[in-house]
Structure 1
């Protein structure tokens, strides 16, 4: 008897058929840009840069779908190995169709000659952290917003770093890592007002902010505000993020000092989807070792987000993430077949699913692994949320009902959630059992694993 194909094999066959059909429309010479010798190429016959989102694969498949830079001519297929080459290929966020293939590690904190830059290189106008702390100590400064020479110097220094690390991605762009070790370090990729973008097979690491700002009244006790997400979708549409690994690797925030009684945070989000972004699919990616991983919708009062922020998250791993995996406002978010791992030392875990204003999350067949001190009731947090459609969740191998447990154990300041979010996802692949999907995610998710 012929063995029944595994779900992953079915998906691979469908992807191969999509690629074959798409190859009929390739520009002449489309295979001209090849992997560098040090990069292990994708499977024979595959060019990840030319691949498009398969039909029906989440919200980014809506309408015309997401094709990124697949239509780029030969002159706009780039293989880049350093920041200068990457910046030139991005072309200031131009909408010209382009494919950018990343080889090896590219460090955004480098000058035009490739020299490594550190925080001291960006500091200007007399900025000094000790002087900044002395100037705005809340015991003497109070609760007013910082102002004066040190705050001005901090802003000027931050602007110098932003010129290096914020990289604008334009419409009709594909950015893909070649081989198993393509890394973009210290950068903040910004898809700002752009349409039709693909980011695949790439590690996004350590978008480190040298100049956090003190915000005295945030959260009651004040907090440090950082500037950079590793990937920020701001007013972006039709975006596919696939086989990406995003983390704080090298500079975890929990090793940073405490100032004014608060952790001196250096990182913002791993992937934030805000300001009316819409039609996004995030698949087979890994988000790890971070505090606030993913924000969908940036404000309770941003009512213009209604009808937007439609996002699909499937077959992703959230490993050692403290919160926002994701936190959602307004959006219709389909969350299926994801794996959540809270490690034994994950004592700082706050929640995984954040249900906020007018959010409509449908969560299906997701698996959670957690140590004994983490309860099922810790997985969901609501801020003015009203509903969560959830089914098939497994917690340490046992089926659980997240909504009923949340309602039984919420703080009393939160209203109970209903189970009807008012919509049924139709754009998605097979929804597998939570445990079998989690095993596949552990093997297949993350950078360096696409195309193999």
Structure 2
């Protein structure tokens, strides 16, 4: 009888969508960053909302509940547990909002394109009624999808690999926040309805979008762990081309800018995106000197076109990561970007690039002077990325030295690239915390 009862109970739980092992699941919501786990472990470590009292532990299932729990970005210690799928593009009643719902003041994509066609408008910055209407429309969307995260906060998804918690269309924004943890959550499709045309960008002009799935701006002590971040739902490569430029709808998956500092990003998956991760947002942002200390370990970058990451100024430890660049990745440019005053220390990373990608394509430099690497695997074979880079750029002013001016000390065990490659393939991303 007891055996039949167990079988029946297990079947019922399955029908209800509850994992049979739910009673045995470990509560990770009060976890703190382990000692020495990257830069975020420095100067007292990162605890997020672990000190929250019971009144500030929330389980949320919709945008309205998430907004209430975030409390306007307050610094009160809080734990926010996300269950199911939350769509940021919804009204206060939970009804779905489309781009047309945000459009106001006569904004029309067709009229916008006609107004600022470079053949008639020229190279001046867009201005006038359609640009003003675009800004007003963009502000209405921002009110819905830009979600401010305050200090002393833990945001954690409830679910396993078969039933992950999802934040769709939202942009988690940590502006000046300190001591934040984001874990076990899938973030997808921070989709900008109203890109702006910038005529003078990159010589030919370009479209600029507003939202990163996660944006750290002046944030400190942040641990991002076991998240999955992608464009799932609206891939940029399927968007049209206007003014001979792809009409991008997404910005970064995770951008770390404006003197953010002491960050660890671990066991996460970044996929199906153009510009994945920017660390440092400008060559002239000298206030970033001495900041932007970031550790990236045991992450997977799959079908990412560029910026995995691109670094300015920061001391970035990049170890035991896995890169997968399928042959059909749209317009692949590079993986690791070495830029102004950056110090990237790369150890034991693995690259899989079947098809047209060569070793020389993996690293690019813009005003960079140094790049340390060791233990790299390329399609299963050891390579020296620095030597290949310098050989490929022999005689140019862009040669790099191996001396980045610092040596990482805050890190866990660094495995061989081959071992890490297998472990990351199995364990990175939302729903995969042991």
What range is the shorter-chain TM-score in?
A: over 0.9
The whole-number CA distance in structure 2 between the counterparts of 1:306 and 1:78 is: 38
SS at match of 2:114: helix
Q: CA RMSD in A?
A: 1.4
Instruction: Return the match for 2:321 from 329, 338, 360.
Output: 338
The whole-number CA distance in structure 2 between the counterparts of 1:264 and 1:377 is: 29
Matches within 5 A, 1:4-403: 38=18, 44=24, 46-180=26-160, 181-403=164-386
* 1:176 Cα deviation after fit: 0.1
* 1:38 Cα deviation after fit: 4.5
Change beyond 3 A, Cα 1:436–1:206: same
Q: Which runs of 5+ in 1 are unaligned?
A: 1-35
* 1:154 Cα deviation after fit: 0.2
Deviations 1:250-299 (A, max 9, x none): 10000000000000000000000000000000000000000000000001
The whole-number CA distance in structure 1 between the counterparts of 2:405 and 2:21 is: 44
Tell me, yes or no, if structure 1 residue 434 matches structure 2 residue 434.
Answer: no
The whole-number CA distance in structure 2 between the counterparts of 1:132 and 1:414 is: 42
* 1:346 Cα deviation after fit: 1.7
Change beyond 3 A, Cα 1:377–1:49: same
Deviations 1:181-224 (A, max 9, x none): 10000000000101000000000000000000000000000000
Q: Which runs of 5+ in 2 are unaligned?
A: 1-15
Size of the aligned set, in residue pairs, is 416
The whole-number CA distance in structure 2 between the counterparts of 1:172 and 1:294 is: 24
Q: Is the 8 A contact 2:326 2:355 kept in 1?
A: no
The whole-number CA distance in structure 1 between the counterparts of 2:20 and 2:399 is: 51
The whole-number CA distance in structure 1 between the counterparts of 2:77 and 2:315 is: 29
Instruction: Return the match for 1:410 from 387, 393, 403.
Output: 393
**Divergent runs of 4+, >4 A:** 36-43, 411-414
Change beyond 3 A, Cα 1:435–1:217: same
Which residue is 2:5 aligned to? none
Q: Is the 8 A contact 2:237 2:330 kept in 1?
A: no
TM-score by length of 2: 0.94
